[in-house]
């Protein structure tokens, strides 16, 4: 069977026992009246695109993560793209990227005409394995892109020291990692540039949105200019009362700026970031407590001395102990009205990377193996205690029904 068919088996799969009355979606954003009022204020203000709100959001965000600069853009993908450009990654270069990640992490390397070099993950955290990075470094390597999988920080001390030894830049994909901390240092204030996502399912949202943080003033300026056509002044500087019509094109840039409507939502969401985090932590603790007693379920490993953002809660099925596949497990959960997802099908298994960059499943054996076993369960502040209990009951009932 072709790998894609094998793992996208969504046929109805019989699950006995209690079924929840209403479908529990995999994710629902937490939008309250304050968020709505903040956006409505902007809509009434007469200034919709990048302006005061976007600048305020940048300032608050930089303070929140402890970085000198933050550049607001319309996605994490955009942030990663301009971060690589500011870092000087270009044609012929290589960038180390984990295979266990989303499309965006590697496609931005391709945008730059550079080559993503995929590295396998650790079997427990699913983060990039620092021990395997060194073997992939060549004279063409320009940067390492750690991706903080599910919101758990990568081993940044090891990655930073490899980067220092080989003279590489560290561009972090922190799409999942707000808020997070590795030892004493907050994610956003460690690598050369750190990129966050405010996509609809992320830990705070602006619908679509992203942020690049850095302590490097020159790079922050370059990213800001690149995010708006490479021109020297944004619209606020041109059209506001204090502005002037004059601008110059400094580079061929992009249309990546964040609107003030989105920034107002971001400001309002950022205020609730810690309380959202506490809610997700409670859910992850409840899941891990309940599943600790089920040998067929491997709960996510959490490194000591990190603050895990718990954007995702990814279990691994011990398939040897079960009489159903991961696809069938997901179908059985759906039968019980529980939404799930899979993060991720590793990049080296996707047709593009196989065809164009010659990747084989054996190139990242841990990611290939783990991929068959992973299921992401719902974890978001809008879930009630009863919702969490329903997920636990459904997982437990399916395991009981299908254990060997
Ligand atoms: C690991 C990772 N990186 C980058 C992105 C891209 O984020 P955005 O949708 O804001 O471009 C995502 C989105 O899901 C992601 O999961």
Ligand 1 pocket mutation, candidates 151, 198, 199, criterion most atoms within 8 A of CB:
199
Provide the pLDDT confidence category of residue 361 given band limits of 50, 70 and 90: very high
Q: How confident is the model at residue 132, as a pLDDT?
A: 97
Summarize pLDDT for 252-292 with one digit per residue, the tens. Answer: 999 999 999 999 999 999 999 999 999 999 999 999 999 99
Q: How confident is the model at residue 11, as a pLDDT?
A: 59
Q: How confident is the model at residue 33, as a pLDDT?
A: 98
Q: Is the pLDDT of residue 12 over 70?
A: no
Q: Is the pLDDT of residue 7 over 60?
A: no
**What is the SS3 assignment for 24?**
strand
pLDDT (mean) for 245-257 = 92
pLDDT (mean) for 141-169 = 98
CA-atom Rg of the chain in angstroms: 22
Give the H or E element holding residue 314: strand 313-317
> Does any ligand 1 atom lie closer than 6 A to the CB of residue 102?
yes
pLDDT (mean) for 363-372 = 98
| Residues 309, 374 contacting (CB under 8 angstroms) | no
Of all residues in the chain, the percent with pLDDT exceeding 90 is: 90
> Does any ligand 1 atom lie closer than 6 A to the CB of residue 101?
yes
> Does any ligand 1 atom lie closer than 6 A to the CB of residue 279?
no
> Does any ligand 1 atom lie closer than 6 A to the CB of residue 147?
yes
Q: Is the pLDDT of residue 293 over 80?
A: yes
Q: How confident is the model at residue 247, as a pLDDT?
A: 86
Which residue is closest in CA terms to ligand 1's atom 7? 76
Give the H or E element holding residue 54: helix 52-65
Distance between the two ends of the chain, CA-based, in angstroms? 24
Provide the pLDDT confidence category of residue 17 given band limits of 50, 70 and 90: confident
Residues labelled as active-site residues: 202
Q: How confident is the model at residue 3, as a pLDDT?
A: 45
């Amino acid at each position: 069977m072709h790998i894609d068919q094998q793992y996208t088996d969504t046929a109805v799969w019989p699950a006995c026992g209690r079924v929840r009355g209403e479908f529990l979606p995999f994710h629902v954003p937490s939008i309250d009246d304050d968020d709505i009022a903040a956006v409505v204020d902007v809509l009434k203000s007469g200034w919709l695109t990048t302006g005061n709100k976007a600048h305020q959001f940048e300032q608050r965000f930089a303070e929140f993560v402890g970085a000198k600069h933050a550049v607001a853009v319309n996605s994490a993908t955009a942030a990663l793209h301009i971060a690589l450009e500011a870092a000087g990654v270009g044609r012929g270069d290589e960038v180390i990227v984990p295979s266990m990640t989303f499309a965006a992490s590697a496609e931005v390397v391709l945008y730059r005409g550079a080559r993503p070099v995929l590295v396998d993950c650790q079997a427990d955290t699913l983060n990039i394995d620092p021990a395997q990075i060194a073997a992939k470094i060549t004279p063409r390597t320009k940067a390492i892109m750690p991706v903080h999988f599910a919101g758990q920080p990568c081993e940044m001390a090891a990655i930073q020291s490899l980067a220092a030894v080989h003279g590489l830049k560290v561009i972090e994909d922190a799409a999942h990692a707000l808020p997070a901390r590795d030892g004493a240092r907050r994610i956003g204030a460690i690598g050369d540039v750190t990129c966050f996502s405010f996509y609809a399912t992320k830990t705070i949202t602006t619908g679509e949105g992203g942020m690049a943080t850095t302590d490097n003033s020159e790079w922050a300026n370059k990213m800001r200019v690149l995010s708006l056509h490479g021109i020297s002044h944004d619209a606020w500087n041109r059209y506001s009362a204090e502005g002037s019509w004059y601008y110059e094109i400094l580079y061929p840039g992009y249309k990546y700026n964040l609107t003030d409507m989105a920034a107002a939502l971001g400001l309002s969401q950022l205020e609730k970031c810690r309380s959202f985090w506490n809610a997700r932590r409670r859910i992850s603790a409840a899941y891990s407590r309940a599943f600790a007693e089920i040998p067929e379920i491997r709960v996510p490993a959490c490194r000591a001395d990190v603050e895990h953002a718990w954007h995702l809660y990814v279990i691994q099925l011990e398939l040897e102990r079960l009489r159903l596949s991961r696809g069938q497990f997901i179908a059985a959960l759906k039968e019980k009205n529980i939404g799930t997802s899979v993060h991720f099908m590793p990049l080296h298994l996707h047709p593009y990377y196989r065809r164009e960059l010659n990747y084989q499943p054996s190139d990242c054996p841990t990611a290939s193996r783990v991929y068959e076993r992973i299921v992401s369960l719902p974890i978001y502040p809008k879930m009630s205690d009863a919702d969490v209990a329903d997920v636990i009951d459904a997982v437990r009932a399916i395991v009981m029904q299908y254990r060997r």
